[in-house]
A and B are shown apart, each in its own frame.
Chain A
């Protein structure tokens, strides 16, 4: 059951998304979220979907992995789809009316837009950040983006360090949990039967050793850091300096332009665009 955790699953590669500056990627992610959420009109939604598709292809991440990131959402997707499909009241004639079910054009429209939006949100953030950004780069980037807050005494470096340690320990703790589960199973522990309360109670023999070992690891790590004279962020240099290259700036500009396009297209109905297009020739 613990094999399916994809949180923070970096997938090494050499696409331009992998090479891009993590700070720029975070800013682009924000722009991207604005695009995905703001798109209303058909053209705007199409454009934002196209952007998502482009990012997915550009990341060189395998289709199977991309689908895996959407998989946990299937229930939410189906649920929102149905709600939007059946419960949107339209102004025109219903397309279908059968007993208590009525479907309007607007219902179909809303359902499709909602689905595209949700899938874009998940897929886009997975492709932009989780799959293509090394967790260490990510925390460095967050530290760097938040560094202005240091002026008002926010412990930005400590926060980033805690985050990177937490991320690094996730796989270790998952492995540890599996080991402990096996060991308790070898003592005939039963995790599968009984009602909810019994099952929760049956987890005690797993959770106690897990916490003990997490605390032990934390203490060891703290000692190891102190032995190497760690004393916080001040004056600390980095092995890998973050660099923003011209390509990153172009990427950022393109994303901003895309955002402007989407907002503009939202205000223009499809018909007008077609007529404008016809008038060109």
Chain B
């Protein structure tokens, strides 16, 4: 595997809804962005900024009005008839995916994707079992109706259905929306572990700066349908002023450290997670204690 390969790349993509009608609306305007293989990119932006449009582009549910979508260097629209192959490689988890559950048992529902790819029985069984085990769905739960599960469990079952397809790229549109902190941690933590084990490229759409700081290594900021900022965590969060201009935020803990720096209490503002902040704080306190 070549580290410099882009799993997914958008080249100068423009999306216009309802072209030629009075309701015409430009959702994305000339967006060029790369998602390197094995990376996790957090995508942030306001409601209506074009995040979900971008998600639908990645697996060919939506055709760009202009521009190209490249999956491992190949234009996904070159052979529209083979779009299902693309969809088996790019797993897209929509917002509130629990509303797509339909089968009689959780097992059948998880097996839906792998079945559609056309795998044989044995392989389907393996994949369902693996995915379920990974996502913490018990055997007993697999036999139950998906409609009997709790909200968080349903969400997990739905995400498992995508993971069972073993996609190379996993796109998640607000996977933790509307869950309690424990549910968030379970799902996002699970996904992080999944990525560590499988080297899957992930795109994580979220409103929460904290979540992105914890789980992503790159950031793409979308503003009014344009790629406003993109790059590593440091690059983007160290540019706090620019984020504030876009009426977005940096993680709370980063804000604290920016304040501390203003007052000359510390020199480092590249603090995005509470864990790192704790170490940093101990270092500062420890340092002044020694002096």
Residues of A whose CB lies within 8 Å of any CB of B are: 179-180, 182-190, 204-206, 208-209, 212-213
Name B93's closest neighbour in chain A (CB-CB).
Answer: A186
Chain A residues, Cβ within 8 Å of B91: 186
Name A64's closest neighbour in chain B (CB-CB).
Answer: B21
Interchain CA distance A260-B230 in the complex, whole Å? 73
Name A182's closest neighbour in chain B (CB-CB).
Answer: B61
CB 8 Å contact bits of B147-183 with A (1 = contact, 0 = none): 1000000000000011001000000000000000000
**B56 interfacial by beta-carbon distance below 8 Å:** yes
Is A190 within 8 A of B84, CB to CB?
yes
Interface of A is mostly: helix
Chain B residues, Cβ within 8 Å of A204: 102
Chain B residues, Cβ within 8 Å of A183: 94, 97, 99-100
Is B99 within 8 A of A213, CB to CB?
yes
**B207 interfacial by beta-carbon distance below 8 Å:** no
Interchain CA distance A182-B147 in the complex, whole Å? 21
Chain A residues, Cβ within 8 Å of B102: 204-206, 208-209, 212
Is A188 within 8 A of B100, CB to CB?
no
Is B61 within 8 A of A188, CB to CB?
no
Is B61 within 8 A of A187, CB to CB?
no
Is B165 within 8 A of A188, CB to CB?
yes
**B112 interfacial by beta-carbon distance below 8 Å:** yes
Pick the contact of B147: A180, A189, A190, A212 (CB < 8 A). A212
Interface of B is mostly: helix
Is A186 within 8 A of B59, CB to CB?
yes
Q: Nearest Cβ in chain A — how far from B23, in angstroms? A: 11
Is B112 within 8 A of A179, CB to CB?
no
CB 8 Å contact bits of B93-115 with A (1 = contact, 0 = none): 11001011111000000001100
Q: Nearest Cβ in chain B — how far from A13, in angstroms? A: 13
Chain B residues, Cβ within 8 Å of A189: 112, 116
Interchain CA distance A208-B113 in the complex, whole Å? 16
Are A188 and B94 also in contact (CB < 8 A) when A182-B56, A182-B61, A209-B102 are? no
Residues of B whose CB lies within 8 Å of any CB of A are: 56, 59, 61, 84, 87-88, 91-94, 97, 99-103, 112-113, 116-117, 147, 161-162, 165
Is A209 within 8 A of B87, CB to CB?
no
Is A184 within 8 A of B100, CB to CB?
yes
Interchain CA distance A190-B162 in the complex, whole Å? 16
Is A188 within 8 A of B97, CB to CB?
no
Interchain CA distance A184-B161 in the complex, whole Å? 11
- Which one of B87, B99, B101, B165 has the highest number of Cβ atoms from chain A below 10 Å of its Cβ? B99
Q: Nearest Cβ in chain A — how far from B99, in angstroms? A: 6
Chain B residues, Cβ within 8 Å of A208: 102-103
Is A188 within 8 A of B113, CB to CB?
yes
Is A205 within 8 A of B112, CB to CB?
yes
Is A180 within 8 A of B100, CB to CB?
yes
Is A179 within 8 A of B94, CB to CB?
yes
Chain A residues, Cβ within 8 Å of B61: 182, 185-186
Pick the contact of A190: B92, B97, B116, B165 (CB < 8 A). B116
Are A182 and B112 also in contact (CB < 8 A) when A188-B165, A190-B84 are? no
Chain B residues, Cβ within 8 Å of A184: 100, 112
Chain B residues, Cβ within 8 Å of A185: 61, 87
Interchain CA distance A187-B113 in the complex, whole Å? 5
Q: Nearest Cβ in chain A — how far from B66, in angstroms? A: 22
Q: Nearest Cβ in chain A — how far from B86, in angstroms? A: 10
Name B97's closest neighbour in chain A (CB-CB).
Answer: A183
Is A182 within 8 A of B94, CB to CB?
yes
Interchain CA distance A185-B61 in the complex, whole Å? 8
Q: Nearest Cβ in chain B — how far from A2, in angstroms? A: 14
Q: Nearest Cβ in chain A — how far from B136, in angstroms? A: 21
9 closest A-B pairs by CB: A188-B116, A208-B102, A183-B100, A187-B113, A186-B92, A205-B102, A188-B84, A183-B94, A188-B87
Is B99 within 8 A of A209, CB to CB?
yes
Interchain CA distance A91-B112 in the complex, whole Å? 66
Chain A residues, Cβ within 8 Å of B147: 212
Name A187's closest neighbour in chain B (CB-CB).
Answer: B113
Interchain CA distance A208-B87 in the complex, whole Å? 22
Chain B residues, Cβ within 8 Å of A213: 99
Chain B residues, Cβ within 8 Å of A180: 99-100
Q: Nearest Cβ in chain B — how far from A84, in angstroms? A: 36
Interchain CA distance A120-B197 in the complex, whole Å? 67
Q: Nearest Cβ in chain A — how far from B153, in angstroms? A: 16
